[in-house]
Amino acid sequence: MQIVRTGEELSQALVQLRQSGTVALVPTMGALHRGHLELIDQARRRARHVVASIFVNPLQFGQGEDFARYPRQERLDYQMLKAAQVALTWVPQVEHVYPEGFATTVRVAGVSERWEGEARPGHFDGVATAVAKLLLAVRPDMAIFGEKDFQQLAVIRRMVADLNLPVEVVGVPTVREEDGLALSSRNAYLSADERQRALALPRALEVARDAIVSGAPVAATLAQARDRLAHSDFAKVDYLALVDAHTLEPLDQPAGDMRLIAAAQIGSTRLIDNLPL
């Protein structure tokens, strides 16, 4: 596995890879876990070569968020990527991605404006800007993202379509622990007690999904799900909603392709999750 840190090294390495087949990109912020390895496995099924990037993107962290303490484990990440048969790992520096005088932001209207967009102003501008730069630098045939960050996936799909970027965006279903908690790098912040109580989030979504599919009123079902989280000592529920899976607009009754989405805070850790309907 090659590890490159500059744009020149990346360009040279990609020329060699493309001579022998297709390229899939798996963008990450490091602190890898089994969910990332599933993305890499799916990439290997679809392309001849897998390129992973590790970049903790400062633009997607708001004031008071956890950029400084975001988990970093570069050496272990390299070991995991090598074992997963990644051909190339790109680790750009912040000053390379955002050079001095950087003044351009990619903003995706509509799909980015509710939910995470309201709870974390500017977050998706940072995500879209960084992902656009990664895609333009690597120019992969496809890019692989997890569905756990479902709104992020929708934003990236909209951006790629709007900018006519020649890349296929592939979403991979959320990978979970055996007890149902969605894998996340931020799970490392949870104490043992918080980790146990965090299970209320996927369980509340499961109960709500089953109720809605069975014909229960959407508003009452969502209110009950929020109550379940409050009773499990979640300090704050930013949102818990039934939405159209393509536009992310809220639904007050079942219609078409849907997602239940939620974001809630337990202790000092903010967790997100979603389920398809």
* Catalytic residue ranges: 36
Q: Which of 254, 146, 275, 252 is nearest to 203 (CA)?
A: 275
Q: Rounded to a whole number, what is the distance in angstroms from the first to the last CA of the chain?
A: 39
DSSP 236: E
CA angle (270, 67, 188) in 5-degree steps: 50
Q: Calculate ∠ Cα 108-112-242, nearest 5°.
A: 145
Strand partners, 239: 263
Backbone phi, psi, residue 274, to 5°: -160, 160
Length of the chain in terms of residues written: 277
Q: Which H or E run contains 36?
A: helix 34-46
Q: Quick check: 40 and 84 in contact, CB under 8 A? A: yes
Strand partners, 168: 142
- In what helix (H) or strand (E) does residue 49 lie, and over which residues does it extend? strand 49-54
